[in-house]
Amino acid sequence: SHGVLNTIWSQWLCGSTLAPPSYCFVAFPPRAKDGLVVFGKNSARPRDEVQEVVYFSAADHEPESKVECTYISIDQVPRTHAIVISRPAWLWGAEMGANEHGVCIANEAVSTREPAAETEALLGMDLVRLGLERGETAKEALDVIVSLLEEHGQGGNYYEDASSCHSFQSSYLIVDRHEAWVLETIGKYWAAEKVTEGVKCICNRLSLTTKMDAEHPELRNYAQSQGWWTGEDEFNFSEVFSPADDHPDCCAGKDSLEKQEESITVQTMIDVLRDKASGVCIDSESFLTTASTVSVLPQNRSSPCIHYFTGTPDPSRSIFKPFIFVDDVKLVPKAQSPCFGDDDPAKKEPRFQEKPDRRHELYKAHEWARAVLERGQEQGHKLRKTMLELEKQGLEAMEEILASSDSPDLAEVGDLFYDCVDTEIKFFK
């Protein structure tokens, strides 16, 4: 019985952790301007965690090869797409990112009635990256994620923390140029809703209700077997699976996006992500928005998708820098954390026995800026103004690319993110 008690105790420890309050958004035309789908996410994570921005080119893989995810290895596919991701530097997966086909995915840790498994399996963040590497459309990425869930399950520590396990169920916002899918999961069970208009926000609570466009074939039987659904009432996903003490309406974010009078642009999305008063930009004792992203997906295929990343904490004190997929993307080591290879404490068991310094050059340079902005005063105000000016130059250059009928100069576009990071670091020095 000792083992059983231990399991119950550790599940309680694990399950009682509050899911970090991240927010993901998408806006479709005509709510979004100029035939553009606009996607955004604030990644709320433990305050001192570093996120890096990494590009991986498309690749072919040998038959029978494996891919090592954060905790487990799974079968590799013959070909993976090029991706750019923002991820906590200690893990394999991603908090958010995009692929060369204009698919964007972000995930949320969610609290549900059923505690998440501590057993190491796929993390929600691994599934974000796997969906991007393997899906050419939002729907394909969704199919990839749910079939991997079925095969491998989800579980394991969401934080680089040896002292306790924080595991969560996960939800996803999966977007391409034409549609979005909201996917919410509990273990291997799931439901999804397709969205093609208006605005949608997901956060750290379940949001699906009675409109489900796809679901796990056993979902309702499972809910019934747990005694969470009578089988008589209308099946409402959030009501059935949310924790008893939950208040399902969480989306401070949705209001801040919906109440925008004008049509939604990249700038609108950035402003929403920077808003601390609404709670969308978290800066609390335990959590901080450690990285943010905004993507613009033109419904017209002749225009390129543009993905903006901060690569630094607190979007209200960060610069959103553009990235466009081309064949020859210049890698940006300054936004990448040091690599510890097999010696990484995250890869050895027992895990996380020490915490290496994972700060990259951009992060270190930005720490100086954060300190100056924190103090306010004249230097802080001047710095903020200059940072916004830098960002605006990037945004305006991207607007020109989208407005122009010629295709962009590929060499320049390939160095885009590199140049922005470089300029930012020089400027902070």
> Could you list the active site residues?
24
The Cα-based distances of 285 to 47, 275, 289, 358, 371 in angstroms read: 8, 17, 12, 21, 17
Q: How far apart are CA 61 and CA 242, in angstroms?
A: 40
Preceding amide of 30 cis, omega within 30: yes
Reduce the DSSP state of residue 290 to 3 states and report it.
Answer: strand
Q: What does the alpha-carbon distance between residue 375 and residue 361 come to, in Å, rounded to a whole number?
A: 22
The CB density around residue 345, as the number of other CB atoms within 10 Å, is 17
Residues 236/205, Cβ–Cβ less than 8 Å: no
CA distance 187 to 30: 36
Is-contact 55 297, C-beta < 8 A?
A: no
In degrees, to the nearest 5, what angle opens at C-alpha 103 toward C-alphas 89 and 20? 45
Helix (H) or strand (E) run with residue 138 in it: helix 138-152
Q: Amino acid identity, residue 122?
A: L
Q: 380: which residues sit within 8 A by CB, 6+ positions away? A: 372, 373, 374
Using the Cα atoms of residue 94, residue 98, residue 99 and residue 101 in order, give the sign of their dihedral. positive
- Do 291 and 321 meet the contact criterion of CB atoms below 8 Å apart? no
